[in-house]
Amino acid sequence: MIFGDTPLDDAEGAVLAHSLRLEARSLKKGRVLGADDVTVLRDAGYASVVAARLEDGDVAEDAAADRLAAALAGTGATISAAFTGRANLYAETAGVVLYDPLRLDAFNLVDEAITLALVPPYQAVEAGQMIGTLKIIAFAVTGDRVLLTEEIGRRESPMVTLKPYQATRVGLVQSRLPGTKESVLDSTMEVTRSRLHAMASEICHEIRCDHATDALAAAIDETMNQGARLILVSGASAVVDRRDVVPAAIEKAGGVVEHFGMPVDPGNLMLIGRIGDIPVIGLPGCARSPKLNGFDWVLQRLIAGVPVGRAEIGRMGAGGLLKDIPTRPMPRSRRRSGGGSDATPARAPKIAAILLAAGQSRRMGADNKLLAEVDGKPMVRHMAEALNASKAASMTVVLGHEADSVRAALADLKPSYAYNPDYAEGLSTSLKAGLNAVGDEVDGVIVCLGDMPKVSPTIIDRMIAAFDPVEGRAIVVPTRRGKRGNPVLFAKRFFEDMARVSGDVGARHLIGNHEDLAVEIEVDDESVLTDVDTPEALAKLRGTGR
């Protein structure tokens, strides 16, 4: 890759290194300069720009990120389309993240421009939570480095996998001493139940008994007979030795004690044993609290089907100091009982799609253009199918003119619907109806037109991948050769402004009003510019195909 001051004669096809705000247009960092851009730069008095030019064998940042993410993401991990050299990995479902730290080191040591950051190994994550981010630092990297890193990511199996939680029947045995309050045992049961619910599991049997070896052994045996596949024993007094009451009861019930103690605090006095293939855990006292402790780490792995033995517990010391201390001001209290901290984990943005399909299509004559056949199906169905196949979290179709017919064309796709009784007053009324139907539980909306049948799921996914209000990308608009098209993605912060629009216009003016928060993604075809407003346009579309 050649980087530096680039004469305009050599700038076409180069990647702009720094954003430029010109009178005619703004050119953002990372833009691949086209002939029109070079002309605009000349007219603005530029003779050269700082840019990067790819050489033979180079792989552009987004292409490199897409390849590497696809290579290293295994079962349970989903990936976003790359944008500015970044591709994120997300958890497909709740579970535990698995990878080899040494393999991650090897990946990151290939080239300084290729970086991969992951959550800690064995981290418990929620569905949709970000588990890693792959970033290509430079505008391009050499093909041989991509191949080498790709091989490390793929090898015999992909580097990063997620083990989902497996619904497990769990038994809880609690012992009591004279003076033990039932309210304490009730609280322990509720805290444990909440932990398990976060992992799709439940307490199938709970029993209380005296804190004595024979009584505990009988309670454990009864719990096994009730079908428990994991048994938790909460002793009235902490286990202090392998020969104490709880481990003795496990052995009397026919089991073995595999390990006592763990290098995690809170959680040091945890005991793990086994009766046949059923794990039995002697709970440390801290397990009565909903705060994160070493027991959580073991429970999460076991319910995800990840083996836990002496060696695995012995390696938990790195990061094992979980106590709240003065230098860590944020307490590790639970957002909900059973695991995690107050901090909201990074996750994939929840983007709702609004498909505007209420208009009268006056310029088309008597026919409703949205129902016109294109490649064997109604025009509006093309965009609906693209949204269904994309990473959009939901799809709301706004109906109005010939609502029943439009609904019938989309029925099997099972979108949500919003009816706009004021559709004759223009596009803005449909936009408001869609926003009202979407609700507040989303991060943004992608506003789509029903007469743009060529837009693909890939374009929609690229737009969602580019969306990041924290980094100043609160509006995402696709472009073709520098010309802005549709659909457009808006962050939630703009909903009020969008709802104030009136007449037969949408919210595109917000892009110009907030250029600093808008990001463009250049696409490879005319789909984002192709809408069908006239019979001539429809005839042309039918002649060229989708």
Look at residue 505 in the predicted model and tell me its pLDDT. 72
Residues 2-55 pLDDT 10s: 999 999 999 999 999 999 989 888 888 888 999 999 999 999 999 999 999 999
Handedness of CA 382, 385, 387, 389 (dihedral sign): negative
CATH no., domain 2-53: 3.90.105.10
0.75 exceeded by the pTM?
yes
Residue 122 falls in which region: left (phi positive, over 0), alpha (psi -120 to 50) or beta: left
The span from the CA of 522 to the CA of 535, in Å, is: 28
336 pLDDT exceeds 70? Answer: no
> How much is the CA Rg of the chain, to the nearest whole Å?
29
Domain residue spans of the chain: 2-53, 58-164, 169-314, 351-544
Residues 68-107 pLDDT 10s: 999 999 999 999 999 999 999 999 999 999 999 999 999 9
Domain 351-544 classified CATH 3.30.565.40? no
Residues 317-329 pLDDT 10s: 999 998 754 433 3
Q: Which residues contact 500 (CB under 8 A, 6 or more apart)?
A: none
Give the dihedral of Cα atoms 209, 213, 215, 219; nearest 10 deg: 80
> Are the C-beta atoms of residues 87 and 69 closer than 8 Å to each other?
yes
Strands, E, within 17-123: which ranges? Answer: 20-21, 26-27, 48-53, 58-60, 77-79, 86-91, 95-98, 114-118
Residues 496-507 pLDDT 10s: 999 888 877 778
Residues 245-290 pLDDT 10s: 999 999 999 999 999 999 999 999 999 999 999 999 999 999 999 9
- SS3 of residue 51 by DSSP: strand
- SS3 of residue 414 by DSSP: coil
> Which two structure tokens, joined as six digits, stand for 154?
């793929």
* 188-192, long-range: CB < 8 A, 24+ apart: 188/234, 188/287, 188/288, 190/337, 191/287, 191/288, 191/289, 191/290, 191/337, 191/338, 192/232, 192/234, 192/287
The more confidently predicted of residues 330 and 159 is 159
> Are the C-beta atoms of residues 254 and 261 closer than 8 Å to each other?
no
Look at residue 513 in the predicted model and tell me its pLDDT. 86
Look at residue 344 in the predicted model and tell me its pLDDT. 59
Q: Which CATH architecture has domain 58-164?
A: Alpha-Beta Complex (3.90)
Domain 169-314 classified CATH 3.40.980.10? yes
Count CB neighbours of 335 within 10 A: 14
- Where does residue 370 rank: exposed (0-12), middle (13-18), buried (19+ CB within 10 A)? buried
